[in-house]
């Protein structure tokens, strides 16, 4: 038996103009029901007030540089919360949303999209979210005349930290951030209320801090984010994939992804999926130099590109399925 629809909830993706739907909901005091766009689990509908977005607009304007004279390009689908937020913010501050990079002064992209469109982005100010922006990719972009800023957040948490790239993240204005036993917790006015149906990864404590299970630690006053605790056990050793991926991405020249693939004796092994064959030997040397044997990739695969979700993130589920078929016993 299905639950009756909640008349207080607005589902922007069900309308012909999701941006206008959010703006109308804000004027009428209705809440938003937003589908998550994660790549490693089942999507859930996050419920939040419009004010939890709108109260971050001033700080986001400072980060992104988007104000009333900007022309903003958001190429990803609007059912992705990062794209919908950027579009709503642009409309709310009087900026113009444009359909092509040629018209844009500003853009909101994932790191994969930044790499994809680099040759067309000179002179444009880019806000990067949806995945970690490596310092190498940031430097590559800036050498080509592209100004970038980066933030880390989640559909449930909205903004948590921001900086030049993933090695330079500090708490976003208005957010209190703690790392507890390797898990990131945040207290801010930007956090969602919860889920429309059932439970999800969002958890709260009695002091008003929330987490979605992302792993992280402090490096001085900078937040190091390792992502969700997606782990494999290989030969008895537990390996957090995001931690190893961060080590390799820091020196890679092109996008990569790390996955676990089945192995008949070891349970699982690490596979590094590269998009540049030139990275193969340097990354193998780097892995031998800085990683324990259990944390080094045992399989290496070079592909022309990584499969992407509609939201512009690496589709890790598809990658695991495709790569598992190519690995023999």
**Residue 31 belongs to domain with CATH number:** 3.40.50.12780
For the chain, helix, strand, coil in percent to 5 are: 30, 30, 40
Does residue 272 lie within any of the structural domains?
Answer: yes
pLDDT tens for the 329 residues of the chain, in order: 344 567 789 999 999 999 999 999 999 999 999 987 554 445 689 999 999 999 999 999 999 999 999 999 999 889 889 999 999 999 999 999 999 999 999 999 998 899 889 999 999 999 999 888 989 899 999 999 999 999 999 999 999 999 999 999 999 999 999 999 989 999 999 999 999 987 788 999 999 999 998 989 999 999 999 877 677 888 777 788 888 998 999 999 999 999 988 877 777 889 999 999 999 999 999 999 999 888 999 999 999 999 988 778 888 888 888 876 665 43
214-219 and 222-228 beta bridge pairing: antiparallel
Asked if residue 166 and residue 25 are part of one domain, the reply reads yes
Shared-domain flag, residues 159 and 250: no
Residue 217, in any domain of the structure: no
Q: 145 in a domain, yes or no?
A: yes
133: domain range? 9-173
Q: Is residue 204 part of a domain?
A: no
Same domain for 25 and 106? yes
Exposed e or buried b for every residue in 297-325, given b needs 16+ CB within 10 A? bbbbbebeebbbbebbbbbbeebbeebee
Among 255, 301, 307, 293, which residue's Cα sits nearest to residue 118? 255
For residue 40, what pLDDT is reported?
A: 44
48/148 same-domain check: yes
Q: What are phi and psi of 34, to 5 degrees?
A: -120, 125
pLDDT for position 218: 96
- What per-residue confidence (pLDDT) applies to 329? 36
Compute CA distances 19 → 34, 35, 230, whole Å.
12, 15, 33
My answer on whether 139 and 282 are in the same domain is no
Rounded (10°) CA dihedral 224, 226, 229, 234: -120
H or E element at residue 195: strand 194-195
Calculated CA dihedral for residues 194, 198, 199, 200, nearest 10 degrees: -70
pLDDT given at position 58: 98
- 213 within domain boundaries: no
CATH number of the domain bearing residue 288: 3.30.300.30
* HSE value, Cβ hemisphere, 13 Å, CA-based, for 316: 20
Q: Find all residues with CB under 8 Å of 219, minimum gap 6, and list them.
A: none
CB of 202 closer than 8 Å to CB of 212? yes
- C-alpha 31/C-alpha 27 separation (Å) is 11
Number of domains in the chain: 2
């Amino acid at each position: 038996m299905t639950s009756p629809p909640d008349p207080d909830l607005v589902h922007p993706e069900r309308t012909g103009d999701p941006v206008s739907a959010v703006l109308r909901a804000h004027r009428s005091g209705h809440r938003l029901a937003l589908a998550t766009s994660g790549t490693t689990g089942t999507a859930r509908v996050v419920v939040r007030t419009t004010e939890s977005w709108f109260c971050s607009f001033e700080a986001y304007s400072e980060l992104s540089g988007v104000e009333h004279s900007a022309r903003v390009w958001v190429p990803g689908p609007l059912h992705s919360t990062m794209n919908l937020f950027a579009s709503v913010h642009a409309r709310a501050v009087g900026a113009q949303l444009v359909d092509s990079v040629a018209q844009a002064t500003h853009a909101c992209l994932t790191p994969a999209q930044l790499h994809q469109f680099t040759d067309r982005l000179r002179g444009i100010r880019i806000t990067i979210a949806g995945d970690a922006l490596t310092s190498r990719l940031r430097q590559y972009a800036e050498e080509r005349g592209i100004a970038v800023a980066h933030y880390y957040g989640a559909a449930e948490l909205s903004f948590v930290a921001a900086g030049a790239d993933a090695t330079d993240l500090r708490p976003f204005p208005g957010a209190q951030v703690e790392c507890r036993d390797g898990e990131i917790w945040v207290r801010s006015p930007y956090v969602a209320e919860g889920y429309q149906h059932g439970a999800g990864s969002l958890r709260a404590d009695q002091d008003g801090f929330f987490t979605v299970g992302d792993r992280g630690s402090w490096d001085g006053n900078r937040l190091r984010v390792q992502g969700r605790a997606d782990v494999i056990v290989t030969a008895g050793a537990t390996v957090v994939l995001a931690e190893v991926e961060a080590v390799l991405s820091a020196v890679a020249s092109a996008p990569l992804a790390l996955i676990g693939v089945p192995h008949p004796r070891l349970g699982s092994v690490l596979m590094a999926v590269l998009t540049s064959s030139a990275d193969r030997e340097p990354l193998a040397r780097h892995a031998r130099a800085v990683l324990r044997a259990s944390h080094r990739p045992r399989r290496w695969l070079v592909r022309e590109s990584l499969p992407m979700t509609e939201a512009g993130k690496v589709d890790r589920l598809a990658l695991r399925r495709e790569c598992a078929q190519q690995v023999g016993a």
